[in-house]
Every structure is written in C-alpha cells, then in structure tokens.
Amino acid sequence: MRIVKITLSIALILLINYPTKTQNHQNMKVEEIKAIADLKPGKNKVTFKSGGETLVGDLYLPDDYTKGKKYPAIPLLGPMTFAKEQAPTEYAKRFAKRGFIALAFDPRYRGESSGKPREFEDPIAKVEDTQAAARFLSSLPMVEKSEIYGFAVCQGSSEMLRAVAEDDLFQGVVTVAGHYRDHEADVQWMGSEEALNQRLAEGQSARKTFEETGEVINVPAVDKTRTDVGMPGEFVYNWYIEWANKGIWKNNYAKMSDANLLEYESFTAAKKLNKPYLMIHSDNCFLPDAAKRQFEAVPAKEKKLQWEGETGHFQYYDDAEVLDRTTDQAVAWYKQIAK
C-alpha cells in the first residue's frame, strides 16, 4: 500500500512539473497565439527580446508556406552598422523563395529595435541578439528545430562565427564577403598599429565619458574624407549614403563603439567552430588574407572555402545575379548538412 501511495505521489509531481502540450499552449498569451496563427507567406513583422531590449524583425515565410508543415530557418546578420532592409532583406526574400524561413532583424541600438545609445556598434550584443533570434525561431511551430542555420555578410560574419560556435541551436553556418577580426586584420584595416591604437584609445575615452556623464559622442558612420568616422572612405560612403538619403539607414555612429568594436575578435570563435561551415569570399572582398587565416583555423571536419576570384565586395550586398548565386550556394550547403 505504501508503494502505491509513493507511486501516485511521483505521478502527481510529474504532472505538475511537466505540463502537456495543451497546457503549454494555454499558458501562451492570447496575442502570441494569434500572432503565430496570422503568419502568412512572405514578409511578417515580428518582435522578440534580447538583453532586455525589444528587437524588431521581418520574418519571411516560404511562398508555398503551408500550416502544419515544418521548415528550416535562418537568422541573418548584415555588415557593420547595417539595417535589416539592406543585404539581410535581399537574402531573406531569396531564402523564402527556396523553401526556408528567414529572419532579417535590426540588432539592438539600430533601426526599429530599442536600445540606447542609438547607433552603438557592439559586437557582443550582436552575438547575443543573433542567439536570441535563433531561440525565437525555435519557438515557432512551423520551424524545424534541428535545421536552424546561421548566415552573415561582411562584419556580421565575425559575430555569427561566435554565435554559432557557442550555441547548440545552430547546426551550421554560411558567411559571405566576411570582415574577419584578428589583430593583424585590424592593423591592416586601420592602416597602421599607431592608427589602430589611437582609434581604440579614442573609443575608450568616449566610452568613459558616457559611463561617467551619460554624454554620447557621435560622429558620422560614413564620410568621404574624415578618418574618425565609423567607416571612412569614398567607396564606402557612396554605397551607404544612398540608404541614408532614402531614410532607411541613419548616418550616425556612437564614437564609443570603437572601444567595443576593436576589443572584439573572431579568431578565437573560428578556432572553436566544430559545425559545418561554408565561407564565400573573393580576391575583391575585404581583407582576403584574413578570411583565409580564419578559415584555416576552423577545426570543423565539414567545411568549404568558396573562392570567387573577381566578385566585388558590394556585389554580395545588392547585385541580383550574385545574390541569387550566393543564396543557391548557401541552400545547397544547408541541405547537405541536413542529410
């Protein structure tokens, strides 16, 4: 009799602590259930939380999306200072046409997402936001949780490597025209060791000012001639300023970003990456030698370097032919992983 009572007690505890799917469903907020039910093929506006902030994204469902069916899913990261409407949206739309669920989102501090100071570039925050995006995708009933992959462009690649290496939700990753971060690459990026140290010191000074007074020192994100901005140079300016003129992207950069940015590196993450990895790069992408160093450091048994010779860096952002080709390469890689 005593054994029966103990057994019944254990069963009661299990029922209390492990609710059924129906109970889980009932515990969801009514608006959350309705939002999921209202998702449709193509673009859907969504929000999710990361680091106490509300992130806003565009969730693209496949053109042939059918309720009850599960799909592979991809959170996307863009270049330094990116807005989701730029390269992430171009790729997200293409992934959706190829049967994937894709999430283009604004990281905290930018675009429609919350967070202050505005236009603050923080790589660690982007890593956390990307992992939060993967968790959000995994919570959706139409997502196949065993098929969540990372995809990133330019500097987003250095942050995506860490997000994927450290989070088991990700099954693999593709990086495109990556700006990969190690000391040697940063010296090349800044032009000299002296210039690198000066920019880091200025960023640290701006961060200290913010921490002590709350004042945010801002500079343009791009400029043709100034060297103290986020991304100096006419080539970068000419591409980004068009987005500012359209009101989609803000030409602003919190100067203290330089401290967080230049204290970050991706080489350590590359050395820890044991998941299937496809790197797409070219001789005309940013810092090709750094890309090769990082790829060689990756210990994953299943990895591929797709070197594309003459393709220009910004072609991976907005050239329709290159976007289609790159998306096809990524899809083929993800499907290979899933087999």
Report yes or no: 185 and 288 within 8 Å, Cβ to Cβ: no
Closest to 148 measured CA to CA, from 175, 127, 170 = 170
Report yes or no: 100 and 174 within 8 Å, Cβ to Cβ: no
Q: Is residue 205 part of a domain?
A: no
Tokens 């968790």 identify what position? Answer: 135
Q: Is residue 21 part of a domain?
A: yes
Report yes or no: 134 and 75 within 8 Å, Cβ to Cβ: yes
Mean pLDDT of the chain: 91
Q: What pLDDT sits at residue 36? A: 78
Please give the average per-residue pLDDT across 46-65, as a whole number: 97
Give the CATH number of the domain where residue 269 resides: 3.40.50.1820
Q: Is residue 29 part of a domain?
A: yes
* For residue 14, pLDDT beyond 70: no
Range(s) of the domain holding residue 26: 1-35
Torsion over CA of 333, 181, 235 and 204, rounded to 10 degrees?
140
Structure tokens at 105: 């989102």
Are 169 and 277 in the same domain? Answer: yes
Q: Is residue 70 part of a domain?
A: yes
* For residue 20, pLDDT beyond 80: no
Q: Which sign, positive or negative, has the C-alpha torsion 239, 245, 247, 249? A: positive
The model scores a pTM over 0.75: yes
Q: Which sign, positive or negative, has the C-alpha torsion 291, 292, 297, 301? A: positive
Please report the DSSP string for 261-276 in residue order: HHT--SHHHHHH--S-
Q: Is residue 113 part of a domain?
A: yes
Residue 174's beta-bridge partner residues?
151, 278
Per-residue pLDDT reduced to its tens digit, 79-111: 999 999 999 999 999 999 999 999 999 999 999
Q: What pLDDT sits at residue 18? A: 37
* For residue 16, pLDDT beyond 90: no
Are 319 and 287 in the same domain? Answer: yes
Are 71 and 112 in the same domain? Answer: yes
Structure tokens at 97: 């046409």
Q: What pLDDT sits at residue 286? A: 95
What's the CA gap between 98 and 235, in Å, rounded?
33
Domain total of the chain: 2
Are 156 and 296 in the same domain? Answer: yes
Are 11 and 109 in the same domain? Answer: no
